Amino acid sequence: MKKNISAVLGLSWGDEGKGKIVDALAHEFDMVMRFNGGGNAGHTIVLGETTFKLHHIPAGIFSPNVTNIIGRKCVVDFFDIIEEITQLKNNGVEISPHNLMLSYDSQVVLPYHKQMDALREKMRGNGKVGTTGRGIGPAYADLISRVGITLGDIANNSFKEKLANEVRVFNAIAREFQEVEISLSELEAHISSLRHSITPFITDSYSFLRKNIAAGKKLLLEGAQGALLDAYFGTRPFVSSSLACIHGALLDLGLAFQDIAETIGVTKLYNTRVGNGAFPTEFHDEQLRSVIQGRGKEFGATTGRARRCGWLDLPTLKVVSSVNNVSAFAITKVDVLDTLDEIQICDSFVSLSDDEDIPYYPGSDEYFAGVLPRYKKFAGWKSATAGAVKKEQLPSDLVSILHFIEKETTVPIKFISTGAKREELIRVEP
């Protein structure tokens, strides 16, 4: 396999700014493929005076001549993606089967998945995961259980028997818990009335991708969630239901690590987390939290939920970067910290039980609940970095922090984002 494949991955709990980096790089590639997640993802792209919210569609959609592909192991909300395509078209974005492909073997999210999602959270009580309520977990459960409906079933109009089976199962559960049942006839009619609007986009993406990669075309892999939300590697149980690490893309396309030319890991200069779960470096200062949430617009693109905020966590960043074979960092939202007197970065963890230094252990939220962060403190740069487009424009105190991150992680910083717009991005030359 030729090394004409690159990837952009989030290295935390999502919301790192992956969409902006993909949008900025997309014109250098022939294809952009989102390889995990569903409508629970939210990329915010600012072009000029217009802000776009993407939930399914890859961020390469704004680059002419780029083919955007929703991968085979994504789950696709049938009704929401039709609305998303319509909204983008209404805002002047060109979308056709020539620049957007949906994989025929992707699982479909339907209303009963969302109701099941909500029911499970309700039954968990105080132990709820804190999902987006978009039905992602139940749809991936269908995939693993070898049931449910695919986009291919809808395209060839063979979905009705499968739909009847799934609605029958859901309604039995709904009756048991006194929840609202789904009308099979209404749902079937609704799907049938809209299927022709989505069918032209549904294709064999796997064959298309393999053929074009072999022909020397360039592919950019787009992660939808952060690595700490990976179903296997992340801080379980407070994770998403898909493979958010690079392994998800490798499995989708049948690739190996050595097939990837470059993996760009995206992280903010601070951390955020949405939903439940331990967060060792979370701010306990309400005023500081308010400043960062306000300046960073730390509210979910999909749910609108306020994001929890905290200091950057290097022990975890090191391990996540290693697991994903990250070759370069993109550091985002440095401008959000412009007004702070002091910046802190967690450079080690100690155990709450014995005060001994311990490394980050992947795959368990319980780990984070049992550690105490230790910090290295830096002077704030106290000057505006918003809109800077050259590294020489950055204050020396900020540059010192960036060099510290590079030294501690042994990963070079290739991009520095200084604002929400596409052009507010510094590309660091080696």
> Which residues belong to the active site?
15, 43
Tokens of 387: 């809109």
Q: How far apart are CA 251 and CA 204, in angstroms?
A: 16
> What's the CA gap between 179 and 118, in Å, rounded?
10
- Write the CB contacts of 213 (distance below 8 Å, at least 6 apart in sequence): 1, 2, 4, 5, 219, 253
d(CA 53, CA 109): 19
Rounded CA-CA distance 423/89 in Å is 23
Cβ within 8 Å of residue 62, ≥6 positions away: 23, 26, 45, 47, 52, 93
How far is residue 403 from each of residues 164, 308, 311, 399, 407, measured CA to CA in Å? Answer: 58, 26, 17, 6, 6
Q: Where are the beta strands (DSSP E) in 31-183?
A: 31-34, 43-47, 50-54, 67-70, 75-77, 100-103, 107-109
